[in-house]
Amino acid sequence: MTATICGTGSYIPSYTMDNNDIARLVETSDEWIRERTGVARRHIAKDETTVSMAAEAAGRALADAGIPPEEVDLILVSTISSDVILPCAACEVQKEIGALHATCFDLSAACTGFVLAYNTALAYLSQGVYRTALVIGSESLSNLTNWKDRGTCILFGDGAGAAVLRAVDPEKRAYLPVTHSDGSKGAALSCKSRHDYNGLIGKIRPEAMLDESHYMQMDGQAVFKFAVKRVPEVIGEVLKLNRLDTDEIAYYILHQANKRIVEAVAKRLNEPMEKFPMNLQEYGNTSSASIPILLDEMNREGRLAAGQKLVLAGFGAGLTWGAAVIEWR
C-alpha cells in the first residue's frame, strides 16, 4: 500500500511588507535583497495566527480533495511558530475544521518539516494504520523575527499550506524518501524558547524577553553553503534509491529560502531552471509552509498533470534535510 496527494490548499495573509518597508527598519535596500535573495515582498500575519492559517489551508485542501473532515484520520502540523505550547496546533486545527475522528500531533523540524511530516503520514498510510491524512505546514515567522537584524529579517514571511493524503491500492508504485540530520551544526540557525527565561523557568524575568537569542539567529553563509551542497546530494540519493533518472522528474519543489540556492541546486543537478518553480519573490521564506504553498499554487494553476513525478526537498535548522518523490494524482 502507498498513498497519494489528492488535494492541496493554502492560506496567505493579505498584509504585505515589501523590501522598501524593510529598508525603513534596517540598513538595506530593495536592490540588495532582490539580488542576494530574490525576495521582493513577504506576507505578514496581522490578524491571523499559526492555527487560523493552518485551519484555512486545511479546509481548502479538503475541499480540493472532495473529502469531508469527518473522514480525516490523522492531522499533522509542521511548525516552529506555534501560537501556544499547549494544546498542539494540530488539535486546534481539528477543532476548527471539525475533523472529529482524527489523531493529531505537531512536528518540529523547521524548513524540512513538511517533507518529514509528509514522510510520517506516508508511513502510517502505507502500513494501513490510517486511510486519510492532512499534512500541514503553517508558520508565523514574523513573531520569531528580529526586525533589527538585517541578516534575517529580509528573508522570512508567514503563511500556511496543506495536502490531503489518501491510502491507495498496492498496484500504485511506492517511493521511499531520504532524510538526514546533523545536530552538531545546530548553532547555524537557532531560536531560544520565549519560555526559558535564561534557564530560570518559573521565575519570570521580563527583561530577558528582549534578548536577541529569543529571535531567530542565523549564520547565513554557513546555511547557504550547507544547502547548496546537501540539497543536490539528497536529491541524487532519493533518485538513486527509487531508480529514477532526472529526465523522469517533471518538477523539483524546493523549500523556498533563496533564489540563489535554488539556482545552485539546478546547476549542480544539471537540470533546467524551468523544472524549479519559485514563489519566494512573493512570500519570502515561510519555513515548513513554503513547499505546500508552492505545490498548491501549481495545482491550482493547472501546472501539474496526472502521473508526473515531483521531487520535494527541504533543508534548514537542526540541521535537517531530506527529499521525497511523489507521483501526482
Catalytic residues: 111, 255, 285
Contact residue for ligand UT7 among 16, 34, 36, 268 (CB under 6 A): 36
Find where cell 526559558 sits. Answer: 196
- 229 is a contact residue toward ligand UT7 (CB under 6 A): no
CB within 8 Å of 24: residues ≥ 6 apart = none
Helix/strand/coil (H/E/C) assignment for every residue in 154-185:
CCECEEEEEEEEEEECCCCCCCCCEEEECHHH
Cell of 31: 536592490
> Which is nearer to ligand UT7, 79 or 242 (by Cβ)?
79
Binding part of the chain for ligand UT7, among 48-56, 147-155, 178-186, 203-211 by CB under 6 A, reads 147-155
Q: How far apart are CA 222 and CA 258, in angstroms?
A: 14
Residues of this chain, 264-323, that bind ligand UT7 according to CB under 6 A: 285, 316
> Is 102 an interacting residue with respect to ligand UT7 (CB under 6 A)?
no
Nearer to ligand UT7, 94 or 258 (CB): 258
Q: What is the nearest approach in angstroms of ligand UT7 to the Cβ of residue 200?
A: 30
Q: Can you tell me which of 8, 37, 50, 119 binds ligand UT7, judged by CB under 6 A? A: 37
Binding ligand UT7 (rule: CB under 6 A), the pick from 53, 55, 141, 227 is 227
Task: Give the count of residues interacting with ligand UT7 (CB under 6 A).
Answer: 19
Contact stretch for ligand UT7 (CB under 6 A) within 178-186, 215-223, 242-250, 291-299: 215-223
Among 3, 53, 154, 326, binds ligand UT7 (CB under 6 A): 154
Please state, in angstroms and rounded to a whole number, the distance separating the CA atoms of residues 284 and 154.
Answer: 8
Closest alpha carbon to 143 in 53, 40, 216: 216
**11 is a site residue for ligand UT7 (CB under 6 A):** no
Measured distance CA(52)–CA(137) in Å, rounded = 12
**Position 218, amino acid:** M
Determine if 220 is a binding residue for ligand UT7 (CB under 6 A).
Answer: yes
Shortest approach of ligand UT7 to residue 198 CB, angstroms?
Answer: 26
Binding test (CB under 6 A) with ligand UT7, winner from 94, 132, 258, 299: 258
Of 5 and 188, nearer to ligand UT7 (C-beta) is: 188
Residue choice 105, 126, 144, 151 for contact with ligand UT7 (CB under 6 A): 151
CB 176 within 8 Å of CB 241: yes
Q: What are residue 310's phi and psi, to 5 degrees?
A: -125, 145
Least separation in angstroms between residue 286's CB and ligand UT7 is 9
Among 224, 251, 252, 283, binds ligand UT7 (CB under 6 A): 224
Cβ proximity to ligand UT7: between 62 and 323 the closer is: 323
Considering the complex, what minimum distance in angstroms separates the CB of residue 317 from ligand UT7? 7
Nearest to 243 by CA among 309, 329, 186: 309
How many whole angstroms separate alpha carbon 265 and alpha carbon 314?
A: 12
In b/e form, how buried is each residue of 247-273, taking b as 16+ CB within 10 angstroms? eebbbbbbbbbbbebbebbbeebebee
In contact, 256 and 283? CB cutoff 8 Å: yes
Measured from the CB atom, is 7 or 157 closer to ligand UT7? 157
Count CB-CB contacts under 10 A for residue 241.
Answer: 14
Which residues of this chain interact with ligand UT7, rule CB under 6 A?
A: 28, 32, 36-37, 111, 150-151, 154, 189, 220-221, 223-224, 227, 257-258, 261, 285, 316
